[in-house]
Amino acid sequence: MQKRTLGNSNLEVSALGLGCMGMSMSYGPAGDKQEMIALLRAAVERGVTFFDTAEAYGPFTNEELIGEALSPLRDQVVIATKFGFNLDSTFDPKAERGSVGLDSRPEHIKRVAEASLKRLRIDAIDLFYQHRVDPNVPIEDVAGAVKDLIQEGKVKYFGLSEPGIQTIRRAHAVQPVTAVQSEYSLWTRDPEAELLATLEELGIGLVPFSPLGRGFLTGKMDENTAFDTSDFRNVLPRFTPEARKANLALVDLLGTIAKRKQSTPAQIALAWLLAQKPWIVPIPGTRKLARLDENLGATEIELTADDLREIEQAAAKITVQGARYNEKLLQLSGR
């Protein structure tokens, strides 16, 4: 497995990480615990060293799963987790009542760190992200709290998830930011407007979540695909049958390149991301070993300048239909 370094830090990780949220929530019922443990350990055997979780996933159960699966392999892995939500309230992205409040007060951050360390069965959190920016807490205070945790040896590196450009700059001035996590893929290209240039300037790595468009870019679904009633894609505007039908043009583009490269649409989507910058480390999630192997195969695909130009020119003619999130989901879960 190829390695990449996140920005100007010393944090070296596998070129592809593993997003673990879907093992516990959001995409239908949680996966079987023993099967997920086996999958996590298989990922390590295949050279994956970067694993992404959060206290909010479950909540709490995903960190516990990661702790049980990876604590015997601690010296081989980098574990990222997140703080920033008040999980004493109802954690349900589709709930009509009971929302998840944001809470990045320094005292709360420190309590979350202690609890995450126990669930993850580790002595230090490798990468600690603010999950969502809290408008009620100055980002300087947030960065200062994480700086304290780093000085205490409880955290190694500081990250931000879906922050604005000025938030990144202000935080970075207090405690260097090692990585920013944002959605980025061929059908979500918002980071290209300002974020990529800012990260390059400051020497910060980018960790794209949902690099396969929540499964859509794999080519395994169409407008007739039905989701489990608990699957949060049911409430995403981009996943209405009409939007999916319109957005298949992007999958067809990936499929065309994939045939030529003797690969799959998912592999081309990931290879495209890897080709954008050497400090980009996508974290596709899966519950299946076959999908894990397929995703990891993307690191072996070389897209030439001509390939990338072809993808760019064709993608420019495709308008992606549907917003990433609905308003309620944005308010309740931050995503």
- Which residues are known to be catalytic? 57
- pLDDT tier for residue 330 given thresholds of 50, 70 and 90: low
Share of the chain above pLDDT 70, in %: 94
Q: How confident is the model at residue 91 (pLDDT cuts 50, 70, 90)?
A: very low
Rounded to the nearest integer, the mean pLDDT of the chain is 94
Q: Please, are residues 295 and 271 in contact by the beta-carbon 8 Å criterion?
A: no
Place of tokens 């931050």: 334
The one-letter code for the residue type at 312 is E
Query: What whole-number distance in Å separates Cα of residue 214 and Cα of residue 229?
Result: 16
Taking CA 245 as the corner, what is the angle to CA 304 and CA 270, rounded to the nearest 5 degrees? 25
Please write the tens of the pLDDT for every residue from 227-285. 999 999 999 999 999 999 999 999 999 999 999 999 999 999 999 999 999 999 999 99
User: Residue 326's pLDDT is what?
Assistant: 80
29: preceding bond cis by omega (within 30 degrees): no
Q: Taking the model in full, what pTM does it have?
A: 0.94
Q: What is the residue extent of each domain of the chain?
A: 3-333
CATH number 3.40.50.880 given to 3-333: no
Residue 65 has pLDDT above 70, yes or no: yes
Query: pLDDT tens digits, residue range 179-190?
Result: 999 999 999 999
